[in-house]
A and B are shown apart, each in its own frame.
Chain A
Amino acid sequence: MTRHIDRQIGNLKEKIRRVGTVVEEAISKSISAVINRDVQLAQRVLANDEAIDRMEVEVEEECLKILALYQPVAADLRFVVAVLKINNDLERMGDLAKNIAKRVAQLEGAGPVDLPPEIRTMAMQAEEMVRECLAAVIDGDPVLARRIREQDDVVDEARQKVRRRILAGIKEHPENVEVLLRINSITKHIERIADMATNVAEDVIYMVEGDIVRHRPEE
């Protein structure tokens, strides 16, 4: 039986998918701008942030409309509530991409300081988590969502390595302290993106199984 609410939910799914695509692109561009020291690319990321903000508001309004007009229960309710939260997390990921892009311009004037090699690994891992968490949302795939939770530890470990390397760099070349702190802040943002992807994955588990796994260790 086709229900009225099915069409609304289909629309909402399409909208959140679009937000995800745009945010994923912003993250990927900002990271590539860091690695290639590409200021122009970074500026494009900054320019696009407003569009993400607009889309976020649109999705939120859509969720509120469905809640008010259809009073969904069970799976429908969980879907709308999960989208409400995922939407919020995606917007914050967009902000983090923006912050990363801002640092690229600041790095430009600095001397030839090499990026720690782990940043690349870390960034690739975080990007993959974002891609997968979006796929988990669209497919309602709790198995994939659980795998993403596990990957977060890998990113956290890489971040610690980068941090140690940066500390050592500061000790060795105190004159580079400013640029090294900027690099440190970039890695912090990448780590936060991976955290957000984990949040999204946890919301997917709730959406499909009705279980709130946040603040609980992985099974």
Chain B
Amino acid sequence: MSTSPSPADPRQPPPSAGPATDRLAVVAAGGQVEPEVHERVRQTPAVLEIDRFNLWYGTKQALHSITMPIPHGKVTALIGPSGCGKSTLLRSVNRLNDLVPSVRITGEMRLNGDPIYDQRMDVIELRKRMGMVFQRPNPFPMSIYENVVYALRIDGESKRIVLDEVCERSLRGAALWDEVKDRLGESALGLSGGQQQRLCIARAIAAEPEVLLLDEPCSALDPIATGKVEDLIQELRGLYSVLIVTHNMQQASRSSDYTAFMYLGRLIEYGPTTDIFTKPVLRETEAYVTGRFG
């Protein structure tokens, strides 16, 4: 890993000096660059470890040797321009890319120490240990109540008292309880877009996942609904380990503890969100977060 240039050394160019193209040019030419991973990320215990992970769609390599720990109990945001591989990385975590026939991978991912891509890993069991929420809310065509307890039902739980308790706890956890508690029996499809998305989060946390994966969860929502989902993500901090992909830089800065900047399938810089948005080590990151490219 490269170290940050010492601010005490006046010979080092400051982060904002010069055009921000060096590393990006190397990457654009197909080369590999050493990512800048801040010390504080490495010091935090990881729930998920991504270890020299490569992924190809056919002959096109979409992820290049990604190595990053995802801290336990924190919100980690993946940012980067379109096509940088952030969604691909997220979908690799719960092996959704297994469904794409041309995908080939090398490297490892471990969920609390268990190798995700091990042949003995049961993918259904794996996905039970992770919740996933997509760009567009996808409630099941059933009641609000049944949506939330769906995972428990298919796991064979039928005790009303257990289901009721999980339903209330999850809806409270997703900041939706007060809005729907009097109409739990109504169809989930009657909820607004923002409510549907929070319902999907409630459904995901009902199974008490080890990691919650959010793939641009607000991109189909209006600003008010977005605000509510962002508030919710803030409240999930500490309770769940969240990995979120977002196009919206302000969303990353507002709702995450750690931010990873990716470019053309490479991890470029990864650090505490406050550092990435106030004093990133690399000028390439600075150029991206200040909107100079991307």
Contact = CB atoms under 8 A, between A and B. Distances in A.
The reply to whether chain A is a binding partner of chain B is yes
Given A73-B277, A77-B278, A208 B16 contact: yes
A143 B278 contact: no
A73 B253 contact: yes
Given A1-B292, A73-B249, A77-B278, A209 B14 contact: yes
Given A73-B277, A210-B278, A146 B10 contact: yes
A3 B279 contact: no
A76 B290 contact: yes
Given A71-B250, A140-B16, A78 B10 contact: no
A84 to B, nearest CB: 15
Contacts of B16: 75, 140, 208
A205 B291 CA distance: 23
A78 B291 contact: no
A146 B293 CA distance: 31
A142 interface: yes
A114 interface: no
B279 A210 contact: yes
Chain B facing A: main interface SS = loop
A71 B16 CA distance: 18
A1 B294 CA distance: 10
A76 B279 CA distance: 10
Interface in B246-293: 249-250, 253, 277-280, 285-286, 289-293
A208 B283 CA distance: 11
A198 B125 CA distance: 62
B193 interface: no
B8 interface: yes
Contact of A3 (B7, B253, B277, B292): B292
Nearest to A72: B290
Nearest to A206: B279
A201 to B, nearest CB: 13
Interface in A183-219: 205, 208-211, 213, 219
Looking at chain B, what size class is its interface with the partner chain?
Answer: 20 to 34
A73 B290 CA distance: 6
Nearest to A142: B14
A211 B286 contact: no
Given A142-B14, A208-B14, A211-B279, A75 B7 contact: no
Nearest to B293: A1
B15 interface: yes
A74 B277 contact: yes
A210 B15 contact: yes
Contacts of B290: 3, 5, 72-76
Nearest to A79: B16
Contacts of B291: 1, 3, 5
Nearest to B11: A143
A209 B16 CA distance: 8
Interface string A47-74: 0000000000000000000000001111
Interface in A67-97: 71-78
Contact of A78 (B279, B289, B293): B279
Nearest to A213: B7
Contacts of A75: 15-16, 286, 290
B10 A142 contact: yes
Contacts of B279: 74, 78, 209-211
A78 B7 contact: no
Given A140-B14, A208-B14, A208-B16, 16 more contacts: A72-B290, A73-B277, A73-B278, A74-B278, A74-B280, A74-B285, A74-B286, A74-B289, A75-B15, A75-B290, A76-B290, A205-B7, A209-B7, A210-B279, A211-B279, A219-B8
Closest A-B pairs by Cβ, 5 of them:
A210-B279, A75-B16, A219-B8, A211-B7, A208-B14
6 contacts: A72-B290, A75-B286, A77-B277, A208-B15, A209-B15, A219-B8
